[in-house]
Amino acid sequence: MKSEFEYSSDCHLDDALRFGNILGQCFLSTPEQEQNWVNLMGIENLRFIRHNQEIVGGLATIPMTQWWGGETVPMTGIAGVSITPEHRGTGAALSLMQHTIKELHHNGVAISVLYPATQRLYRKLGYEQGGSFCGWEIPAETIQIREQPLPLKAVPTDSQIFYELYTKQAKDINGYLNRAQPIWHRIMKPSDKDTFYAYLIGSVEEPQGYMIFSQHSENDDAILRVRDWVVLTNAAATTFWSFLNNHRAQIDKIRWRGSLNDYLTLLLPEQTAKIKYTQYWMLRIINVEKALSARGYLSGIERELHLEITDDLIAENNGKFILSVANGRGNVTKGGKGELKLDIGGLAPLYTGLFTPQQLQLAGKLNGTQTALVTATEIFTGSSPWMADFF
Ligand SMILES: CC(C)(COP(=O)(O)OP(=O)(O)OC[C@H]1O[C@@H](n2cnc3c(N)ncnc32)[C@H](O)[C@@H]1OP(=O)(O)O)[C@@H](O)C(=O)NCCC(=O)NCCS
C-alpha cells in the first residue's frame, strides 16, 4: 500500500518559508525568528513530510560528530521536529522520522541525537536516553574562592582560539559535540539585544581555558550566565571560580552548564551550587557496526562481547555481532553466541555508558548472561555522558 505521506529532502525557497511558519506556530515563536533559524540550519539540511503535495511538517538535520571514548563518531543531530496541528496524531511525525533515519543510514551516519519534547514518539523509533544536559546555579557570594593562579584577558567573542581549546576539552568528555557551525554561531554571535563577554584564562601564548558570558536581570536578581566554558587545568578551574567570585558585588547568581556530577563543584567550599534544570537527550544507533567500531575504548581493555540485536527499522542492524575490543579500538564481526540480547533502543544507553548493564537489565532494556554483563560493564563504563549544547 502506498504511504499517504511523502518524504522529501528537496527544499525550495517557498518550502523553507512554509516550514518557517509551521515552526513558528509549533514552538510559539515568530515566523521571522524561525526564518532566521531555518537560514542558520541551511535549507539543504531540511527534511519535509507532505500530504497531498502540501508540506505538513518537517525537521532540520545537523551533521556533525560526537566524542565517545576519545574518538569522534559521525553523528547527525535532529532539531525542530514539527507537524501542523491539523495533521497530528496521524503518524506524520513517525513517518518523517522513519524516512530520516533510513536516509542517515544510507548516508553512512553512525548515530543520531535529539532533545525530545516527548520520549514516547522517539522510543518507537529506536532512540533512548543517551546522556544529560544540565544547568547549574550558585549564589555568587558563596563561591569564596579568592586565589587566582592565572591571568585573564578580555578577547572578542568570536576568537578563533576557542575552537582549538574547546576540542582539547571535548575529546575527554563522552557525549561532547564536535560542534557544527550553527551551534558555534549561537555562542559566538549574540543577537543585537545581548552583550556577550569573552575571556581567555591563562597567558595569551599558552591559554588554559576560556569563558563566554552574558548578564541580565531576572525578577530581583542580577544573573551572570556562562554561555560556554573550557577549563583544561586545575589552575584554570581555580581561576574560573575566582573570576566569577569577583562579580559578587553586583551579581546575585551565576549559571553555567555542566555534567550531572560536575567536578567544578568539587572545588567549592560548600554545597551551595544546585542543579537548576536537567534533561536527558536521546541517542539512536543508526549503524551498529559503524557506531561500535568508530568510538574509542579504554586502552587497557581486551575483551569480546557477543551481542544479539533487533531493530524494526534498519534490517542491517539485526542479528548476532561480536565486538572485540583491544588497544582502545573495537572491531565488529557478524556471528557469535548472542549472550547479550537487546533491541536497538537498549543499545543506546549501553553505548553511551549512561547506565550500567546491570541497571539496564533491571530496567528491562537488555538481557544478558552474567559473563556478558561483566564484559559489557568493563567495555562501556566511563565518565557520565553529557553535553553543554541544546539544539
Ligand atoms: C510532537 C509532534 C512532532 C508529534 O507529531 P504527530 O504527527 O502528532 O506524531 P505521530 O502521529 O506520528 O505520533 C507517533 C507516536 O508518538 C506519540 N506522540 C506524539 N506526540 C506525543 C506527545 N505530545 N506526547 C506523547 N506521545 C506523543 C503518538 O501517540 C504516537 O504513538 P501511539 O501510536 O502509541 O499513539 C507534534 O505534536 C508537534 O509538532 N508538536 C509541536 C512541536 C514539538 O513539540 N516538536 C517536538 C520537538 S522534539
Domains defined along the chain, listed by start: 6-126 (3.40.630.30), 134-280 (3.40.630.30), 287-380 (3.30.1050.10)
* CA 346-334-369 angle, 5° bins: 50
Nearest CA to ligand 1 atom 16: 121
Please provide the average confidence, as pLDDT, over all residues in the chain. Answer: 96
Please report the pLDDT score of residue 166 as a whole number.
98
Determine the distance separating the centroid of ligand 1 and the alpha carbon of 296, expressed in angstroms: 35
Nearest CA to ligand 1 atom 24: 118
Nearest CA to ligand 1 atom 40: 82
Determine the distance separating the centroid of ligand 1 and the alpha carbon of 119, expressed in angstroms: 9
Determine the distance separating the centroid of ligand 1 and the alpha carbon of 314, expressed in angstroms: 21
Nearest CA to ligand 1 atom 5: 93
Determine the distance separating the centroid of ligand 1 and the alpha carbon of 83, expressed in angstroms: 8
- 260 and 175 in contact (C-beta within 8 Å)? no
Please report the pLDDT score of residue 191 as a whole number.
76
Is the CB of 88 inside a 6 Å radius of any atom of ligand 1? yes
Please report the pLDDT score of residue 3 as a whole number.
59
Is the CB of 81 inside a 6 Å radius of any atom of ligand 1? yes
Please report the pLDDT score of residue 10 as a whole number.
87
Which phi-psi region, left, alpha or beta, contains residue 51 (left: φ > 0; alpha: ψ -120 to 50)?
beta
Nearest CA to ligand 1 atom 27: 121
Please report the pLDDT score of residue 194 as a whole number.
84
- Indicate the pLDDT class of residue 189, thresholds 50, 70 and 90: confident
Q: Looking at the predicted structure, is the pLDDT value of residue 241 above 80?
A: yes
- Indicate the pLDDT class of residue 31, thresholds 50, 70 and 90: confident
Please report the pLDDT score of residue 142 as a whole number.
98
Q: How large is the average pLDDT for residues 348-359?
A: 98
Please report the pLDDT score of residue 2 as a whole number.
47
> Which atom of ligand 1 is the closest one to the Cα of 115?
48
Please report the pLDDT score of residue 170 as a whole number.
98
Is the CB of 90 inside a 6 Å radius of any atom of ligand 1? yes
Is the CB of 204 inside a 6 Å radius of any atom of ligand 1? no
Is the CB of 279 inside a 6 Å radius of any atom of ligand 1? no
Which of 313, 308, 311, 327 lies closest to 369, judged by CA? 308
Nearest CA to ligand 1 atom 26: 120
Q: Which residue has the cell 550553527?
A: 182
> Which atom of ligand 1 is the closest one to the Cα of 116?
48
Tens digit of each residue's pLDDT (9 = 90 or more) over 54-113: 999 999 999 999 999 999 999 999 999 999 999 999 999 999 999 999 999 999 999 999
Distance, in Å, from the CA atom of 83 to the CA atom of 325, rounded to the nearest integer, reads: 42
Is the CB of 123 inside a 6 Å radius of any atom of ligand 1? no
Length of the chain counted residue by residue: 391
Is the CB of 83 inside a 6 Å radius of any atom of ligand 1? yes
What is the model's pTM? 0.96
Determine the distance separating the centroid of ligand 1 and the alpha carbon of 277, expressed in angstroms: 23
Q: Looking at the predicted structure, is the pLDDT value of residue 1 above 50?
A: no
Is the CB of 96 inside a 6 Å radius of any atom of ligand 1? no
Q: What percent of the chain has pLDDT over 90?
A: 94
The gap between the terminal CA atoms of the chain, to the nearest Å, is 35
Which of 97, 65, 102, 111 lies closest to 350, judged by CA? 111
Q: How large is the average pLDDT for residues 327-332?
A: 98
Distance, in Å, from the CA atom of 190 to the CA atom of 187, rounded to the nearest integer, reads: 7
